[in-house]
Structure formats: structure tokens, C-alpha cells
Amino acid sequence: MTRHSSFAPVIAAGARVLILGSMPGVASLAAKQYYAHPQNQFWRIIERICGVPHTLPYPARLEGLTSSHLALWDVLESCVRPGSLDSAIEHGSAVPNALTRLLRAHPEIRRLCCNGATSYRLVQRFFAAELVRDFPRLECLRLPSTSPAHAGMRLEDKVLAWRQALQVGGRGARRSGAAPAARPNVRVRVRGG
């Protein structure tokens, strides 16, 4: 079976929140773009929170993301996975990205936002002990997946959870004039993991 490899991180100086997926799906790998599947709600959620239109060309969307102090990467560097579902990742084939090295290079990052349960579980599996030991102020939140496979939650509810999570210390992706949202009920700290 084919081994799939993820993309380089999208990050700029001043990033305060790192959004972590698990591994790009088939559509994203083919397009060489994060969240390229047309039914994935990621870019629509970012549009609602950051004001970056999901219809912009991909490089412009990435620029809008980084100018909002957000960064983007995946937990896994590579894995064997038939299809796009996270549940199809062959457990023993998973190789993590160098997450802690990235965090040391960007000490302004104060929060990891895991896009779905699999991303969160992979962070716990590969990095929990090191994050607790070396990054005691870092939060790790599990957010509702933007994947089309996670259709049981309304887009509005996902936007509320994501909007709150992308705020760090009064800064972050909040669009001016937008009301603060209630705390997402999926908030989990690494050190409690």
C-alpha cells in the first residue's frame, strides 16, 4: 500500500495558534493544498472567523491565515492509509512530524487546536509527555472536525467552537465587531490528558 506524506507547515513569525490536522486526505494530496476537499468546512469556518474568503486563490487564503496569527500543519509526517478517512490510518505506519521542534522555533504559540478527535489522539500518543514537560503553558484543544465525515454537527456550532479556540490572550483570529462565543465544550488540556 502507498505511504502518504503530509505538507510543510504554514507558519509565520508571530503565530499564536497552531491548527493541527491528522494527515491530508486524497483530494488535498492531489491538489497539494490543505483542506482541498470541496465539502470540508475548514476554509468556510476560517472565512467566518478571520474574514478570509474561502473563494480566494489558495496562496491568498494562506496569507490571510498567517496574518491572523494562525499556523497550520498535520500531526503526521507520513502514514499508510487507504482512502481519506482518519479511521483507515494503519496505526503502526504512523510517523509524526517534528512538532516540538516547530514549537521551540516559534515560542509565541500558546495553543494547539486539533482538527478532530484523531488529530488530538495522535498528539497525545506521540507528544503528550514532552509537551507537559517542556511546554507547560501550552494548551491543546480538541475541536469539532471540519471533515465531511463529521456531518453530525451544524456548521454554526462548529464556528462557535472554533471562534473561541482561535482566541489567545485577547489576540488571534477574531474579526473586528464579532461577538465572543461561548467556550467550546470540547476543551481539553494536554496536562490533563
Higher pLDDT, 84 or 96: 96
* pLDDT (average), residues 101-105: 97
In this model, does residue 84 exceed pLDDT 80? no
Query: Which residue, among 54, 4, 47, 10, has the nearest Cα to 29 in the 3D structure?
Result: 4
In this model, does residue 89 exceed pLDDT 90? no
- What letter would DSSP give residue 140? E
User: pTM of the full predicted structure?
Assistant: 0.84
Query: Which residue, among 167, 102, 110, has the nearest Cα to 135 in the 3D structure?
Result: 110
* pLDDT (average), residues 69-84: 85
Round to whole Å and give the CA distance between 38 and 40.
Answer: 6
DSSP-based three-state secondary structure for 114: strand
Round to whole Å and give the CA distance between 133 and 56.
Answer: 40
Q: What is the CATH number of the domain that holds 35?
A: 3.40.470.10
Domain containing 158 equals: 3-192
Report residue 68 CA to chain centroid gap: 14
DSSP-based three-state secondary structure for 19: strand
DSSP-based three-state secondary structure for 107: coil
6-55, pLDDT tens digit by residue?
Answer: 999 999 999 999 999 998 888 898 999 999 999 999 999 999 999 999 99
* Residue whose cell numbers read 517542556: 134
In this model, does residue 183 exceed pLDDT 70? no
Round to whole Å and give the CA distance between 137 and 91.
Answer: 29
Task: Give me the pLDDT at residue 92, please.
Answer: 81
Catalytic residue positions? 40
In this model, does residue 138 exceed pLDDT 70? yes
Give me the number of domains the chain comprises: 1
* pLDDT (average), residues 126-141: 95
Round to whole Å and give the CA distance between 132 and 140.
Answer: 10
